Amino acid sequence: MNGKSMKTVLATLNAKYIHMSLALRTLKAYSGREFEIELAEYTIKDPAMQVVADLYRRAPDVIGFSCYIWNIEETIPIIQMLKKIRPELCIVLGGPEVSYDTKYWLERVPEVDFIVMGEGEETFHHLLQTLDSTQPGQMQGGKYHLVFGLAYRDRSGNVVINPVRPKVRLDDLPSPHYFPEDVAQYSTRVIYFETSRGCPFSCQFCLSSIEVGVRYFDLERTKRDLLHLIRSGAKLIKFVDRTFNIRREYALEIFQFLIENHGGDCVFQFEITADIMRPEVIAYLSEHAPSGVFRFEIGVQSTNELTNEIIQRRQHFAKLSRTVTMIRDSGKIAQHLDLIAGLPEEDYDSFRRTFNDVFALRPEELQLGFLKMLRGTGLRARAAEYGYIFMDHAPYEILGNHVMPYSDMLRIKQAEDVLEKYWNAHRMDATMQYLVNHVFTSAFDFFQSFGAHWEFRGWPRIGHQLEDLFTRLLDFLQVSPMGEHLAVVEGLMKYDYFRQHTYRPRKIWWELSFTAQEHAYWMNEVLQHQSDIFPNSPPLTERELHKQVMIERTKFDLAEYLQEGTSDRRGSYLLIAHYRPDEVATVVTIPMTQVMS
C-alpha cells in the first residue's frame, strides 16, 4: 500500500449528536497530510446495525475507534460485526478507556488488532506508517515492536505491550480546527478546545492524576484558533483543560482576549479550580466580562476533610466559597458545581452535609454524580480497602462501600433526579428558593423527600410536560407538613409558571380562583388602571389586554417577598402577567383592596 491508497476511517460514538470529537480531529490533523483519513461520528443512541452499514459503505482498510466509558460497551458489538463481515479489516482502539488494563481489552475483544495507549497522535501515525509498509494480507508481519505506545498480539497470539511513548511536543501538533467541512456545523454543535494537557493535582478518582505536569500550547496559536472559531460562527466552545486557571497570567490573558473578541453570541465554558482563583481575576471578570459569555465548571466533590485527604484532593472550602460567591454576586458568569457521592469514608449523613454546604452557595447548576471506578486510577487499585463494589463494565459506577450501602446510594439517586428537573432546569426558581429557605430542614432533605415521592408515584418511568412538573410538585407538597406555607408556595408556583412562557400560556395547571364574572371585572380594572400597573408599557386596547394579560389571585404579597424575602399574608393580591411581544414577561402583584380605588 501507499499512504494515499490505504483508506482510514476514524470513528466514535459521541454521547450526544451536538458533540464534535476533538480526539478524531486531532488525529486527522496530524496524519491526514500523509494518509487518506475520513471522520465518522455517531451517537450511543444510534442502532449498531446502522453504524456498521455506514462504516462498511465507506470501504476502509483501517478503522480507529475513540473509546470512553460512555461508549465502549456500545462500540464493542459494532467492532464484532465489522470483523465478521470483513475479517481483513484492521481495527484500532484508542482513548482513555482502553489506555489502561490494555491486556484485558485485547483478550476480551479479540476482534481488535491494535490499541493505541495514551496520547495518540504520534503513535497512531507511526502505526499507519508501519501498516502502509506491510505487504497486503500480511498484517501480522509488521514491525510493531518499534511503535512505542502500541499494544497488539504477536504471531503466537500473545499480547505485547510496548514501552510508553514520550509525551509529544504540543507545538508539533497541527491545529484540528481548520477542516472546511466542519465550519457549517459550528453554530449548532459543541466545540471542544484545549489550551493545555495534564493536571497539577493527584485526585485518586480521576485519570488526570496519572499524568505528571502541565504542558501548554503556544498562546498565539491558541488565540488564532479561537478567533477562527468565533469568526466561523461557533456558539459554544468548551475548554477541556483540567484546571484552566492553574497559571493565573495565562488564564487572565485568554479571558481578556475572549472579552475583546467574543463576537456577541459565543459562550465559553471552563473547568476551574475555585480555591486558587485570585480575587483580582474575579474582580476583572466582574467588571469587564459581558453577561452570559463565560460559564465555569467547578469540581467540589466533597467537603469532608477525611475524604479529601484519602483521595489526595487539596481543597480550601472557605476560599472556594469566597470565589463562588463573588462570581455569583457579579451576575456575569453562570457556575456549574459538581459533587461525587460514594467517595471513601463519606456516608449518607456526611454526603448530606456536603450537599447542603455546596447548595448554600446557590450555584446556577449543581450536578450530583456518583463515583466511577475508572481503570488506571489509584482509587480503583485500593477498592478492596474501602469495601467497594461496583459495576463490572463501563461506566463502573459504584454500588456501595463499607460506609455507604446500596440502599443509601438509592436514596441519593432519588434526590439527583428531581434536582436536575427542578433546580438545574430553572423552571421554578422562586418556588425552589422558598421551599429550601423556609419549609424544609435543608435543601438535601427537600430534594431527597421529593425524589422518594417521585419514585413512589412511578414518575421516573414516564415523560413530563412543563405542566406536569408543577402538578407533581404540588402533589408532593399536599402530603407534606406545609401548614401556612402551602398558600405561599402555590402563589410562587403560579408566578414561576407565568415566567416560563414567552407568550400568554394557552393552558394552566390549576383551577382558576375567579368565576367568569369576577375575571371579567378584574380584567376591566386592569384595563382602566394599566398606566399605574405597567408604567413602562404602551397602552393596551381591550383586545390586546385579553391576548397579552393573565390574572390570578395570591394570598400573599409577591412583590414584597421578591424584594424583601418576607411574605405578608394579611390580604388577597392580584397576580398580573403581561406578555409583551418580544419582551420578557412582566409579572406583578397588587393588593386587591387598593388596586383600583
Interhelix angle 22-31/121-132, nearest 10 degrees? 50
Interhelix angle 443-456/348-359, nearest 10 degrees? 120
Q: Which of 91, 29, 98, 24 is nearest to 56 (CA)?
A: 91
| Cell 466514535, residue located | 12
Predicted pLDDT of residue 561: 87
DSSP-assigned states of every residue in 142-203: S-GGGSTTEEEE-TTS-EEEPPPPPPPPGGGSPPSS--HHHHTTTTTSEEEE-SEE--S---
Annotated domain spans of the chain: 7-161, 177-392, 506-591
SS3 592: coil
7-161 maps to which CATH number? 3.40.50.280
Each residue's pLDDT tens digit, 351-377 = 999 999 999 999 999 999 999 999 999
In sequence order, which residues have a C-beta less than 8 Å from that of residue 314 and are 6 or more positions away? Answer: 201, 308
The total of other beta-carbon atoms located within 10 Å of residue 171's CB is: 10
Q: Which of 222, 218, 223, 297 is nearest to 261 (CA)?
A: 223
Q: Which of 432, 434, 436 is nearest to 561 (CA)?
A: 434
Strand segments, DSSP code E, in 401-545 are none
Give 446: exposed, middle or buried? Use CB within 10 Å, 0-12, 13-18, 19+.
Answer: buried
Each residue's pLDDT tens digit, 95-129 = 999 999 999 999 999 999 999 999 999 999 999 99
| Cell 485518586, residue located | 204
The residues facing 384 across adjacent strands are: none
Mean pLDDT of 291-298: 96
Q: Distance between CA 450 and CA 279 in Å, rounded?
A: 38
Predicted pLDDT of residue 209: 76
Predicted pLDDT of residue 364: 96
SS3 80: helix
Each residue's pLDDT tens digit, 165-199 = 999 999 999 999 999 999 999 999 999 999 999 99
Each residue's pLDDT tens digit, 218-262 = 999 999 999 999 999 999 999 999 999 999 999 999 999 999 999
| Cell 496530524, residue located | 30
DSSP 276: G
At 282, the pLDDT band (50, 70, 90 cuts) reads very high
Query: pTM of the prediction?
Result: 0.93
177-392 maps to which CATH number? 3.80.30.20
Q: Distance between CA 342 and CA 412 in Å, rounded?
A: 10
90, 134 contact by CB (below 8 A)? no
* Whole-number average pLDDT of the chain: 94
57, 228 contact by CB (below 8 A)? no
In sequence order, which residues have a C-beta less than 8 Å from that of residue 215 and are 6 or more positions away? Answer: 167, 170, 196, 197, 198
Q: Which of 358, 405, 368 is nearest to 386 (CA)?
A: 405
Predicted pLDDT of residue 139: 64
Q: Which of 207, 213, 363, 341 is nearest to 274 (CA)?
A: 363
Q: Which stretch of DSSP H or E encloses residue 300?
A: strand 294-301
| Cell 457549517, residue located | 184
At 316, the pLDDT band (50, 70, 90 cuts) reads very high
367, 337 contact by CB (below 8 A)? yes
